[in-house]
Structure 1
Amino acid sequence: MPLIHADQTFALSAAMMAIVAFGLWAERQAWGRKLGGPLVLLALAMCAANLGVIPHQAPVYDSIAGLLVPMAIPLLLLRADFRTILSEAGTMLKAFAVAVCATVIGAVVAAAVVDMGAMEAKIAGTLVASYIGGSLNFVATAEAVGLQDSSIYVAALSADVVGAVLFLMLLMLLPASALVRRWLPSAFIGDPGAPTAEADSVQAPAVVSPTFHLPSIANGIALSLIICGLSSALSAVLGMESLFILLVTALSLLVANLARPLARHISAEFEVGTLFMYVFFAVIGAGANLGTVLGSALPIVLFAAVMVLVHLVIIVTVGRLLRLDLAEVMIASNACILGPPAAAALAASKGWRPLVAPGMLVGILGYAIATFIGISLTSLLG
């Protein structure tokens, strides 16, 4: 039983915001700039959950995923320019294709190294679908391949979360390595301890204080909620709730490019959206139950760990061969493994504004292809 119970909404919310505040403070310190605020708060939330301070699951976590994350997407995209998106789209799509192939290869290698028993092919296909798409693809693939044993299903879900957190922590460590930065240079990333002029010209520095004007901030939040409300209504009318994030993204981009005068009445929207996504990172960290590693999920956790490690090695290696940018590789990889919201969150947290929209779009593509790839891999391994 955790110190703060799942039904203690205010106490749990206070704990999560304290973790986020620490992450924001940390990224202004020399050591924190090397690691990045999201990595710090992700690790802190994971430690707090596994040491019994906060729960791994709670209704407030669902509220964050269901409300703050969709709200953050329009806030992060309201100044996205189609011309910038198109200039980045080709490279990002190439990087995403590498990430998808790296995930499949990682699964094949993991299946050869880790013995998951008779259900191995089904588990592998389901996890690959999840790591290329998202939770909807996990459910759809599990049903399609007949992964019906409840104990294995729950173990796979647990391993999915632990593997995703491991991946995210390793991914965010890449820019901290001088060797990786030399191997895979980036116009977006300088020395974490001393940002270069080139990096400053591309990214929006987190240390620059925006102009905070309460009516303008309220306008941005209101517009975000309107976009989310319309997207929810449209997805309900179409009878496809899975289209919600796609519609939020599409409407946000349309507003950003066809209703640009609105931007004059909005301020600090990117910072507010980034704050929402930081809370989302804390929720991801809290959801990693390391206790499952010692239980029935151990083989599946090992499988997921090998898969994401191979994935990272391949994207960095092939990224070098294709002369890809490290920042673009990171966002494409994140869009593949964790989906569009996490890709947007990482790009926003690093100040890589030009990569937010392309990362969202390739992540949505992952939703479209993941189930097919997962089912195909199950047949291949079976």
Structure 2
Amino acid sequence: MILGTLIAKDDTWVLWAIIIVWATISLFLEQRFQWASTISGAIIALVGAMLLSNFKVIPTSSPVYDTVWDYVVPLSIPLLLFSSNILKIWKESRRLLIIFFIASVGTMIGTTVAFLVLHQWIPYLNKIGAMMTGSYIGGGVNFAALSSKFETPSEIVSSAVVADNSVMALYFMLLIAMPSLPWIKKFFKTDYHETNSPEMQQSYWQPKKIQLLDIAFSIASAIALVAVSFKAAELIQQFVPKSNMLFTVIVSFFGDQYLLLTTLTLIVVAIWGDFFEKLAGASEIGTFLIYIFFVVIGTPASFATIISTAPLLFIFVIIILVFNLGLSLLLGKVFHFKIEEILLASNATAGGPTTAAALAIGKGWTGLVGPILIIGTLGYVIGNYAGTLMYQLLSSMT
């Protein structure tokens, strides 16, 4: 006899309450306590959900979880892309843009090498590689989108999140320490000295003034973009014939819901840049939706699966980061980039714009905080494209 769970899978309001409250607690702990910040809110969200499901408090599957995958994840994408104006990125941050692309190429090379080394021991590694490529060029929103797109088994997704966030915590500490290393000081130039103060940090993390119309416009714009993109992708898949190579490429690109959503949002933000630049709160709402996703992907994961798959995924992630940072340092030296530019670009690809900004603030690199935030958001734009390309490449190698 199989015992049921304390909360049934159709107990909709209770499940929504648990998911949203735990996502909120995870964010609170991450921002309030150093130990939680080191672990990361994503891990706290995921492990908490795993404990609840493994101890039979909540079910491992539910229509509520499906709603998160089908609606919450797509909605988070435009909300996090509203700050990604590619025209502004090119105009204001060209130098960082170059080293950012170098780090992104390092991610893709590292993913390919790691796949060739480990694919026979890790299932679904072509999908995991695509997801990690998107994540290590963009961020959690790309990871979520590609996970949904490729329909990767949830327990594998959970293992990847555990490996990703655990290694990232160590990687972030490495990036903090590197500017002080003697060989770094010897071979790389810098425009900054080790200066920092609590007042300097606080000036960058002041609460933002958000009006009701900001929230309304953010959500309305995001829902409209998702609706148009998903419907257009559906019509393209239905009516565009795949009779030749050109039409096949068109369908595979524009018929992909997530790629079309990314592209359409990018175009809209470029055209109406002033409107979206003044729109406060969109990225915060999008980030909270991603934390809801992290809770949900922890629900079907068993501890046995995590223990059996995560160690190899640790190695997989480490290989990717070695190539990311290695190529960034090598070509950064060749093209005379400063060490702070190199480390921030690598951080922005691997950890996203907010952790890169945190590194810049923590090290006193005040002039680079704004530019790295702008460049980091570009990763949200290209992450889905790079992840899709990597999936095709890795799938062809098996």
TM > 0.5: yes
1:366 Cα offset (Å): 2.3
Alignment identity in percent? 24
> What code does the residue aligned with 2:383 have?
G
Q: 1:69 to 1:344 in 2, by over 3 A?
A: farther
Q: 1:127 to 1:255 in 2, by over 3 A?
A: closer
Q: Is the 8 A contact 2:85 2:270 kept in 1?
A: yes
Please identify, of 63-72 and 28-37, the stretch whose mean Cα deviation from structure 2 is larger: 28-37
The partner residue of 2:293 within 277, 280, 292 is: 280
1:222 Cα offset (Å): 0.8
1:317 Cα offset (Å): 4.1
Q: Which residue of 1 aligns with 2:177?
A: 182
1:287 Cα offset (Å): 4.3
Q: Which residue of 1 aligns with 2:105?
A: 97
Q: Is the 8 A contact 1:184 1:320 kept in 2?
A: no
1:333 Cα offset (Å): 4.1
The partner residue of 1:312 within 308, 312, 321 is: 321
Q: 1:35 to 1:355 in 2, by over 3 A?
A: farther
Q: Which residue of 1 aligns with 2:16?
A: 13
| Deviation string, structure 1 residues 211-235 (Cα, Å, up to 9, x no partner) | 2322331122111111111111211
Matched, 1:361 2:365: no
Q: How does 1:145-224 map to 2 (within 5 A)?
A: 157=153, 160-174=156-170, 177=173, 179-183=174-178, 197=200, 205=205, 208-224=206-222
Q: Which residue of 2 aligns with 1:25?
A: 28
> What code does the residue aligned with 2:208 have?
P
Q: TM-score, normalised by structure 1?
A: 0.71
1:157 Cα offset (Å): 3.7
1:22 Cα offset (Å): 1.0
1:39 Cα offset (Å): 3.6
Q: Is the 8 A contact 1:171 1:330 kept in 2?
A: no
| Deviation string, structure 1 residues 163-221 (Cα, Å, up to 9, x no partner) | 312232224413652x4322279x9xxx9x97684x778xx63xx32223223311221
Q: TM-score, normalised by structure 2?
A: 0.68
**How far apart in 1 are the matches of 2:46 and 2:358?**
13
Q: Is the 8 A contact 2:39 2:166 kept in 1?
A: no
Q: Is the 8 A contact 1:158 1:292 kept in 2?
A: no
Q: Is the 8 A contact 1:69 1:276 kept in 2?
A: yes
| Structure 2 unaligned spans of 5+ | 135-145, 181-189, 238-250, 333-340, 360-368
Matched, 1:45 2:49: yes
| Structure 1 unaligned spans of 5+ | 140-155, 335-342
Q: Which residue of 1 aligns with 2:395?
A: 375
1:126 Cα offset (Å): 5.9
Q: Is the 8 A contact 2:87 2:270 kept in 1?
A: no
SS in 1 for 2:397: helix
Q: Which residue of 2 aligns with 1:329?
A: 346
> What's the RMSD between the two structures over aligned residues?
3.9
Matched, 1:291 2:304: yes
> What code does the residue aligned with 1:373 have?
L
**How far apart in 1 are the matches of 2:221 and 2:214?**
11
1:14 Cα offset (Å): 0.9
Q: Is the 8 A contact 1:165 1:288 kept in 2?
A: no
Q: How does 1:79-98 map to 2 (within 5 A)?
A: 79-86=83-90, 87=94, 89-98=97-106
1:42 Cα offset (Å): 3.2
**How far apart in 1 are the matches of 2:171 and 2:327?**
17
Matched, 1:251 2:264: yes
Q: How many residues of Structure 1 are paired with residues of Structure 2 in the alignment?
A: 332
**How far apart in 1 are the matches of 2:42 and 2:158?**
16
SS in 2 for 1:28: helix
**How far apart in 1 are the matches of 2:58 and 2:317?**
27
